Every structure is written in C-alpha cells, then in structure tokens.
Amino acid sequence: MKKWIGLLVGSLLMIGCNASRVISPLNEGEWRVGGHYGGPEVSSITLPLTSLYVAHGKTSTTSEYLAIHTTALAFQALQLEWGQLTQLKPSTEAWSPELNATYGIQTFTSLRDGAFRAYPFVGMQVPWMTYQIKPYLGSEIWIDPTYVWSDYGQGSLIHPSLHAGLRYINRFLEVGIETKWINPTRDFQIPQATVQGFGNIGAKGTYVTVAIRL
C-alpha cells in the first residue's frame, strides 16, 4: 500500500518529465502524431505519466512539435511543450551519427488559479540513422528563469538531463524506448517515497513512444 501511495504521489509531483519527442528531422511535409508513456522511477515503480504530441516536418532539416501532458491535465495543470529540432550535421557513414539541435519551451498553467510558469530548454539529439532501428544519445537543459521564486532558496537556474534510447521507424509508425537521467545535479524528495537515480543522484526514468506517420 505504501508503495502505491509513493507511486501516486510521485506521479503527481514529478509531472514535468517526458521523453524526447523527435530525435531526427521528419520528412518535409510529414506529420507524426503520437504519445509517450512512462516516467521517473519512484519507490521502485516507473511512473505512468502520459502525454500526446504532434510533429511536423517544416523542411528536410527542421521539424517542430507541440505536446500536451495529459497526466498534468488530469490534475488541472495545462502543460504544453513547443519545440523545434534542426539538423546540424547529417549522418554520412554507418558509424557516423547525425547531430541535431533542439530548443523550445515548456509552459505550465494552473487551471485552479491561473499560476503560470515557462521553462525554455535547449538540447541535442545524436542518432545513428543508417538502420531501421536507430540508437540515439542526447541531452537537454531546462532553464528555470523563476527559480528565485522557489521557497527557501532551493531553486536552480539549470536543470540538465541525459538520455539514451532506441527508435524503430518504418513507413507507418514509430515506436521507441528511452531511458533518462533526470537532473543529476540534485536530489528529489517526495514524502514517504524514494526517488531512484543513478548512484542515488537525480532521478532515472523510462519512457515508451508510439507514433503514427501521416
């Protein structure tokens, strides 16, 4: 029972976490609609966070996406994410990865009282694109411009994360799994629950992605 209390509370409190939306540019004009399931590990359980997204290939090297966090919405917080991925270097050899830059913004709006927060982010995705199953590495940095509003001075400006995953992409769909090391610069504390990180630092998460190519 205690485990489930930890799970529930954790899923509510670590609501901001999510997986990489796109790891490589879509084809120009392509639309991709999908969802993510998963989250950080709290009290030995991977949190069942969910989100939906749509991505669009603006050009052959640039894609943008918009996502909504459905778990947050259930708790009356509208969490939206807009982001863009731009290819910096294509993959030229089987062993040579592609290099993509990502940037965008996460916004949170309380449907209770209208409280609003916005967190810009930048990152990179490094996928090996030669095969249909594509391994990738990446990192992301969230910036908290309102960190000074945190109670008792516990906020921080920079929130980094590292991730690695696999994506299978065919003509019709994309499926993937990703593991993430969330904010290895700090500990997370949830009452009556334990947040597992790598080496007890930060939090580790696992996410599943399913998307349809249109």
Partner 1 sequence: MMKKLTLYLTATCCLFSMPSCDVDSPMLKGVVEDYHFPIPDPSDAYPVDSDKVHLFNIISHADIDNDIPQASLFALYLGEVSQIAHDTVILYLHGNASSMNQFWEPVRHLANLGGTHNYGVMTYDYRGFGQSEGPSTGTESMRQDLYAAMQFLYDNGLSNDRLMVIGSSLGSLPSGQEAGDATGPLTINKLLLESPQSSANFLMQNASGLSLSSSMLTDFNFDLAASMALYDGELLWFHGTEDDVAPTNSALEVYKAHKGSYKEAYLIPGVGHGFRWGWGKALWGEAIWSFMKH
Chain positions contacting partner 1, by CB under 8 A: 4-5, 8-10, 12-16, 31, 33, 52, 54, 66, 68, 70, 72-78, 108, 110, 112-113, 115, 117, 119, 142, 144, 146-152, 154-156, 159, 183, 186, 188-192, 195, 214
**Residue whose pair of structure tokens reads 């080496």 in the numeric block:** 199
The residue type of 44 is: S
Q: How far apart are CA 51 and CA 69, in angstroms?
A: 4
Query: Cβ(77)–Cβ(116) under 8 Å?
Result: no
Query: Cβ(186)–Cβ(155) under 8 Å?
Result: no
- As given in the structure block, the two tokens for residue 170 are 């065919």
CB of 170 to partner 1, least distance (A): 21
131 vs 152 by CB, closer to partner 1 = 152
37 vs 136 by CB, closer to partner 1 = 37
3-state secondary structure of 73: helix
CB of 79 to partner 1, least distance (A): 8
- DSSP H or E segment with residue 116: strand 116-127
CB of 163 to partner 1, least distance (A): 16
The terminus-to-terminus CA distance of the chain in angstroms comes to: 43
44 vs 110 by CB, closer to partner 1 = 110
29 vs 92 by CB, closer to partner 1 = 29
